[in-house]
Chain A
Amino acid sequence: MPDLKLLADVPTADEREAIDVVVGGEAAGDGRVTRSDRTRRHLLLPALRAAQRRVGWVTPGALGYASRRLEIPPAEAYGVATFYALIALEERPADVLHVCTDLCCALAGATVPDGAQPSPCLGLCERAPASLRTVAGPEPREEQIPATGPPLPQTSGLKLLRRIAEGVDPESQPEFVALARARELGPDAVIAAVKASPLLGRGGAAFPTGRKWEAVASQPATPHYLVCNADESEPGTFKDRVIMEQDPFALVESMAIAMYATGCEKGFIYIRAEYPLAQKRIQHAIDASGFDIELRIGAGAYVCGEETALFQSIEGFRGEPRNKPPFPVEVGLFGKPTVVNNVETLVNVPHILLGDDARDTRLFCLSGNVGRPGLYEVELGTPLRDLLELAEAEPAKAVLLGGAAGSFLRPDQLDLELSFDAAREAGVTLGSGVVIVFGENADLVSAVLRIAEFFRDESCGQCVPCRVGTVRQEEALHRLASGRTNGNELAVLADLEQVMRDASICGLGQTAASAVTSAMKNLGVLA
């Protein structure tokens, strides 16, 4: 590391104190960076968050202090800070209201009052319209609005949600029977059991979990890490939040099992910044259980749910996805073999080990024009129509399946079986279990434009197809919507769909045209 040229601005005492809580106190004296300060770049985002939660924004003084204490060139620290939507580098009030303007909240008539910030989906879609209030100060806090949603809509037939339906206390530690069972079995047998189960990843890519675990367990490089992906930012998704808020011990126990089976020294859970209650409950469960798990909190970036972007974010870099291969099982967090799993994926594991319920169920997030929005659990293979009936969906003119990265279905396609195979055959994806119902009066053009805006906003900007492609896609759709066409929009959109899918680095760009294209082809919207 070179001698750093630092920012001249100095932090206030409050900022210094807030950052010191994260990075450790500075040795009295000459203010030089001590040796132990090296290699601590991973504390950058926590330090920036701490400074902002104290005074409302990241001042030049705070940015300079964080970069000095962590020996990060200020230009790079600035690059990281400006990556995240929820980090403010310009002065703003301590109390900020972030109002969701995404798909479900728009259906519920969301409007952004003066002085409030518009926000992508806050993961509170079952209580749309929703917002998040962030209050900086000596006792910073974040509030989800509305604070509570409807109770779980189902009471029976549940597996992953059973304990929640039974009213489990999220703050009292249960006996970890599945972990005890894992320890009886030994790591190899745990992996064998997961491999023998039909469990596929629930974060979107549907990769077989057992194979991932086996690959990491067999890596000679050490240490191994477990990362639980709780970034959950796909519009319309709130399943992981419900689990973390209401049954956090199930998740930490599942993480402990995964770590045990795959020889992980340490676990991380990365929860999006917009989930304050989940963060609190998970931190409490970690503290109570004593597992070596560290909670990391995002700062407003959908792309950080992409597994390698998530590693970059934890490591203190911009959340730019890495090129694969190498895959995380070989080169993951801090360059080490890493198991990354979604929350829902992990909480399946105790049931596999205990053999208490052999059904392969899946969580679905129902929102939009439905009578009983919320989180549902049904067996894989259930027809979509049954799920819609359970949720008392209004007659739909379209259903968005799989989220912004998913696809729109027509009313005559709603008999689709909700299984990975049937979805693949139909050329759609279950994604993260999103089912948004658009009733007769819904404005599909607005929905399509909102999706295009979402991808343009959330692109990390690294690769050309996505950085510029998402802008051109949005421009072309706006031209079509407003009737100011050049006459070539359809050809342009088709080309963009191809280049983004084929040549983008990560899944964000690769799917940035999926829902838009399906709306045009399937529903004739703007076509």
Chain B
Amino acid sequence: MIELTVDGQAVQVEEGSTILDACRRVEIDTPTLCYGDTLTPVNVCRVCVVELEGARTLVPSCSRKAEDGMVVRTDSERVRTSRRLVLELLGSSVNLSTAPEALAYIEQYDAEPDRFGADSLTVAQAVKVDNDLYVRDYSKCILCYKCVEACGVDHQNTFAIAVAGRGFGAHISTELDVPLPESACVYCGNCIAVCPTGALMATSEFELREAGTWKEEEQEEVDTVCPYCGVGCNLTMHVQEGQIVKVTSPDDHDVTLGNLCIKGRFGYRYVQNK
């Protein structure tokens, strides 16, 4: 076991744990955006930073391994300022309207994304609708790398998408930005499952939202097992007004870790096509 101090409290965690694990152990609320329990930390959003005694800069709690004797502060003015700024920078450049966590953090940290002025550069662009199953609205993309990881080594091993470009121009792209049907994409939708902002969205949800008839509060979640093959993935059917509007899989499910294939995620229409 490793013992460290977080906000004055002694915390014990197992070898290999991160500072974030330690924070969670003692229920210290820590914002995260690019971190995912089932993904390798890329530590790029920097919203989870904490103050570590002896370190010149703040450190990302999601990836920094806990060490014996570390003294960590998560509630200092310095930490709050950086977290607030990260949220302001994101909020000023990205459409966060379908990113509930980010919106909640903005509230919590009193972030004011508007303070940079109306002519601030943003990633606004047209929605990419190039296939029947899901849409990509990169004006909502915070570049958290989760979809790339899910499509690549962490889950899917398809490598249909990657980060391209540099600096503010960095973006998620297929090779030469070809439409998805020309890319390696197999429509597993595992990128949709990890996307924290709604930039990637099943067409069914996208169309209802466009029509103003997406009613998340009214939806029921029905758990079932995918009927297509012997793997036995757990499915959660999101049902609105008697229609399946989205399929997910719980990411704590030991078979799927939230992942499905095209059949499980999108092959539900037959249920409704009476």
Contacts and interface: CB of A to CB of B under 8 A. Distances in A.
Given A318-B163, A492-B115, A464 B45 contact: yes
A266 interface: no
A83 B89 contact: no
Contact of A495 (B63, B81, B162, B173): B81
Contact of B89 (A460, A465, A498): A465
B82 interface: yes
B196 interface: no
A490 to B, nearest CB: 12
A255 interface: no
Contacts of A63: 175-176
B165 A83 contact: yes
Contacts of B175: 7, 63, 67, 73-75, 77-78
Interface string B122-165: 00000000000000000000110000000010000111111111
Contacts of B89: 464-465, 468-469, 472, 499
A42 interface: no
B129 to A, nearest CB: 19
Given A323-B63, A464-B44, A486-B117, A75 B159 contact: yes
Contacts of B44: 462-464, 505
A82 interface: yes
A409 to B, nearest CB: 23
A502 B165 contact: no
Contacts of A496: 85
Contact of A464 (B86, B158, B166): B86
A285 interface: no
Interface stretch (A120-128, A177-185, A451-459): A451-459
A458 B164 contact: no
A60 B184 CA distance: 16
Nearest to B33: A464
Contacts of B82: 465, 498-499, 502-503
B169 A502 contact: no
B183 A78 contact: no
Which of A67, A462, A492 gathers the greatest number of chain B CB atoms within 10 Å?
A462
Given A502-B57, A503-B86, A492 B116 contact: yes
A6 to B, nearest CB: 9
User: Which applies to chain A's interface (DSSP): helix, strand, loop or mixed?
Assistant: helix
Contacts of A501: 57
Contacts of B167: 456-461, 467, 470
B49 A75 contact: no
A471 interface: yes
A5 interface: yes
A488 B115 contact: yes
B176 A504 contact: no
B258 interface: no
Nearest to A488: B115
Interface in A87-107: 89
Interface in A302-330: 318, 323, 325
A10 B210 CA distance: 40
A475 B116 contact: yes
A16 to B, nearest CB: 19
B184 A73 contact: yes
A462 B58 CA distance: 17
A477 to B, nearest CB: 12
Given A7-B176, A75-B161, A78-B162, A461 B170 contact: yes
A82 B63 contact: no
Given A465-B46, A465-B85, A499-B82, A79 B163 contact: yes
Given A464-B86, A486-B117, A503-B49, A323 B60 contact: yes
A495 B46 CA distance: 15
Given A495-B81, A501-B57, A78 B164 contact: yes
Given A467-B167, A503-B46, 13 more contacts: A5-B184, A75-B184, A77-B175, A78-B164, A461-B166, A464-B143, A465-B85, A468-B89, A468-B93, A469-B89, A471-B121, A475-B117, A502-B81
14 contacts: A75-B162, A78-B174, A78-B176, A82-B164, A83-B165, A318-B163, A323-B63, A459-B168, A462-B44, A463-B43, A463-B44, A467-B143, A492-B116, A499-B85
Lowest 3 A-B CB distances belong to which pairs? A461-B170, A73-B159, A74-B175
